[in-house]
Amino acid sequence: MKQLKKYWHLFWFFRKTSLMKMTAYRTDFFFWFFVSLMWTSFNFFFFSLLIRLSNNIAGWFTWELYTLLSIFTMVDAFTWSLMYNNMNPYTSDIFQGRLSNLLTKPIDTQFVIMTRETSYNNVPRFFVGLFALFWSLHKLNYTPNLASIILFVLTFSAGVLLVYTIWFAIATLAFWVERLDNINNIVPGMRRIWQVPRQVYGGFTSTFLTVILPLGLVSSIPSEVLLNKPTGIWTSYLIVISFIFFILARKFFHFSIKKYTSVGG
Amino acid sequence: MPDMLKKYSTIFRFMTMRALYYRTELFVWSLIETLPFAILILFLVSVFAQKPEINGYDLPKLIQYYLLALIITSLTDFHFEDVRAREIREGKIDFYLARPFSYIEEILLRTFNSKIIFLVFLLPVVSIIYFLSSLHYGVAPIHFFSLNFLIFCGLILAAATISIFLSLWIVMATFWLEGSNGLTHFRMIGITLFSGAMIPIKLMPNWLQQIVNWLPLKYLYAIPIEVIQGTYQISPHDMLILAGTITAMLFITKIFWKNALIQYCSVN
């Protein structure tokens, strides 16, 4: 319990220091805040152009697709505000031999790596997504019950954890490769996988993207839960597989650390 | 003339060696570029499951449209703004100002060089996707020995020139604005939105069609693709607009660069 309290305190302490850094460069913050909003709007606009071509895509109607797109935008907020800003220093520390600074700290290294930075420029993405989510549910004339909301929060968190874990595992490959500067562009490059409903995938692609590397479930399952669509075992699968991936990534990290060397260590 | 050729070929060879040093990265980039496109194809299959044709586009034609858009992006999209803006901001370009080889020439040579190497990695991947798409979805083949293909190549050259001018303007803006490389995002959104890279003009809402038809950015994506697909005949009027745009951009770039150098200062 004491440990948990320590990590909880540290988590918010990191958020606070990131906020202080952000306020030091306010103009920069407002500029990137605007750029982030621009990309979010552009993303919505691009998909709205595709959605309007047909009113039923893979069994999803227009406003249901907007629900999915809203949830994708909320996941995207975590991608750019938390994951990207932590994975970049992580790989850079490995390549430049600075990871020893973290390894010698009396706290869990993976925790520090995954939580030390936040970019507040991208936080508005989350609220844009949330607003769009309420709007699409309003358009569908649908009010989810408490059980759906709880299950939504659970599956949404599992989805974010899955993306972050896969990113962490890929970034950990930096221990094994000589130099790969774009290693942190791989997961953002895969974002379109969870931007579309899982029913879009068929055959082997479906098996690969929903079972083996289940990124196709990240936005789909929370949307289906919220819209009360039948999901079968997929809800439980997403939650369980996220934790399994997390444990595997942690084991891979501890295994890879043995390969790490730096000056004096 | 032979001396000049020798100079440029030596520089080109040196840059090729440097670019090949990052070959794994180039391979990863080519995968990153093509994956979203593969997902888009699957999405389009679902869109066309309900309707066989939308505004003159069926599934094979639309897949071909996006495949050609992917090829155009790989040929005409340049990303040197960040690195170059940083060089200017940190006062690291004196080196080029005192040489018989200008900074702009250095940017252009290095950009073309890394582009060629990137294409060596990307084009096989795109060719495989194209082949698979023609096999599965009946995407029409490209006729390489046709007049339309020749016009397409000319338009791509013009598109690359326009794109490189836009990127150079962003780099040069660094002489006045500190965070000018952020303008790259405006360039990317502007081009994607108003060039037809996002969606064919016929599938756009009316208000967007009007803007796109008025701007010359349509010559970057929509027109070259429509030429290949045989749905657009290039006219002297188009040639005039393109030539005018490129000449005006060249003129602006020269003035911009001249004033930028006056603005530049570094230690010593």
| Token digits of residue B132 | 């698979």
B28-48: buried (b, 16+ CB within 10 Å) or exposed (e) per residue?
A: bbbebbbbebbbbbbbbbbbb
Query: Please, which residues bridge with residue B53 across strands?
Result: B58
From chain A, pick out residues whose CB is under 8 angstroms from the CB of B51: 53-54
Q: Which helix (H) or strand (E) holds B87?
A: helix B81-89
What is the spatial distance between Cα B91 and Cα B84, in angstroms, rounded to a whole number? 11
Cβ-based neighbour number of residue A264 at 10 Å:
6
Look at residues A48, A53, A197 and name the one whose alpha carbon lies nearest to residue B47. Answer: A53
The answer to whether B56 faces chain A, any CB pair under 8 Å, is: no
CB contact under 8 A, B32 and A177: no
Return the number of CB contacts < 8 Å for A and B.
94
Give the closest-approach CA distance of B198 to chain A in angstroms. 7
> Of B46, B54, B189, which has the smallest distance from its Cβ to A38's Cβ?
B189
Q: Do A220 and A214 meet the contact criterion of CB atoms below 8 Å apart?
A: no
Separation of alpha carbons B173 and A49, rounded Å: 33
- Name the 3-class secondary structure at B53: strand
Binned average pLDDT, 10 residues per bin, chain B of 268 residues? 72 68 73 84 87 87 93 88 82 75 81 80 84 88 88 94 92 80 84 91 92 93 94 92 94 90 69
Tell me how far apart the alpha carbons of residues B23 and B35 are, in angstroms, rounded to a whole number. 19
Q: Are residues B28 and A192, on separate chains, in Cβ contact within 8 Å?
A: no
Chain A residues with beta carbon closer than 8 angstroms to that of B192: 42, 46
pLDDT at B152: 93
A181–B25 C-beta distance less than 8 A: yes
- Cβ contact (<8 Å) for A42 and B50? no
Q: Which residues pair with B145 in a beta bridge?
A: none
Q: Give the 3-state secondary structure of residue A56.
A: strand
Q: Which two tokens stand for residue B83?
A: 């690195």
Nearest Cα of chain B lies from the Cα of A110 at a distance, in angstroms, of 25
Per-residue pLDDT of chain A (265 residues; tens, 9 = 90+): 788 889 899 999 999 998 888 887 777 778 888 888 888 888 888 888 888 888 788 888 889 999 999 999 999 999 988 999 999 999 988 888 888 888 888 889 999 999 988 888 888 889 989 999 999 999 999 888 899 999 999 999 999 999 999 999 999 998 888 777 788 888 998 999 999 999 999 889 999 999 999 999 999 999 999 998 888 899 999 999 999 999 999 999 999 988 777 655 5
* Residue that has been written with the tokens 């390549």 in this structure: A95
What tokens were used for A198?
A: 């899982």
Spatial neighbors of A13 by CB under 8 A, at least 6 apart, are none
B42–chain A Cβ distance below 8 A for any pair: yes
For A38, other C-beta atoms within 10 Å of its C-beta total: 14
Asked if B111 and B80 touch (Cβ cutoff 8 Å), the reply is: yes
Q: Name the residue among B28, B44, B205 with its Cβ closest to that of A186.
A: B28
Question: pTM of the prediction?
Answer: 0.86
Q: Do A42 and B179 touch (CB under 8 A)?
A: no
Contact A262, A100 (CB under 8 A): yes
Chain A residues touching B45 at Cβ < 8 A: 200
User: Does B251 contact A at CB distance below 8 Å?
Assistant: no
Nearest CA to A262 among A107, A86, A102, A105?
A102
Mark which residues 139-178 of B lie under 8 Å from A by CB: none
- Nearest-Cα distance to chain B for A249, in Å, is 21
Bridge partners (DSSP) of residue A259 are none
The SS3 call for residue B213 is helix
- The pLDDT of residue A263 is 59
Which residues in chain B touch residue A179, judged by CB atoms under 8 angstroms apart? 22, 24-25
Q: Do B54 and A182 touch (CB under 8 A)?
A: no
Query: What span, in angstroms and rounded, lies between the C-alpha atoms of B3 and B9?
Result: 10
pLDDT at B20: 65
Number of helical (H) and strand (E) elements in chain B, helices listed first: 11, 2
Distance CA A209, CA A143 (A): 30
Cβ count near B185 (within 10 Å): 17
Nearest to A180 among B24, B36, B205 (CB): B24
pLDDT, position A232: 83
Closest Cβ–Cβ partner in A35, A180, A189 for B32 = A189
CB B247 within 8 A of CB B161: no
Nearest by CB: B42 against A35, A42, A200 = A200
Contact A195 B198 (CB under 8 A): no
Buried b (16+ CB within 10 A) or exposed e, A228-242: eeebeebbebbbebb
ipTM of the complex: 0.85
Question: pLDDT tens for residues A38-84?
Answer: 888 888 888 888 888 887 888 888 899 999 999 999 999 999 889 99
Query: Is A167 within 8 Å of A248 (Cβ atoms)?
Result: no
Bridge partners, A60 (sequence order): A57
**What is the helix (H) or strand (E) element at residue A76, kind and residue range?**
helix A62-78
Give the model's pLDDT for residue B129. 86
Task: For residue A55, give the 3-state DSSP assignment.
Answer: coil
Given an 8 Å threshold on Cβ–Cβ distance, is B49 in contact with A190?
no
Q: Find, in chain A, the residue whose alpha carbon is nearest to that of B55.
A: A53
Helix (H, G, I), strand (E, B) or coil at A148: helix
The C-alpha torsion from B251 through B252 and B255 to B260, rounded to 10°, is -140
Determine the Cα–Cα distance for residues B221 and B43; give it in Å rounded to an integer: 21
The backbone region for B267, taken as left when phi is positive above 0, alpha when psi lies in -120 to 50, beta otherwise, is beta
Confirm or reject contact between B25 and chain A (CB < 8 A).
yes
Closest to B263 (Cα-Cα) out of B185, B178, B168, B164:
B178
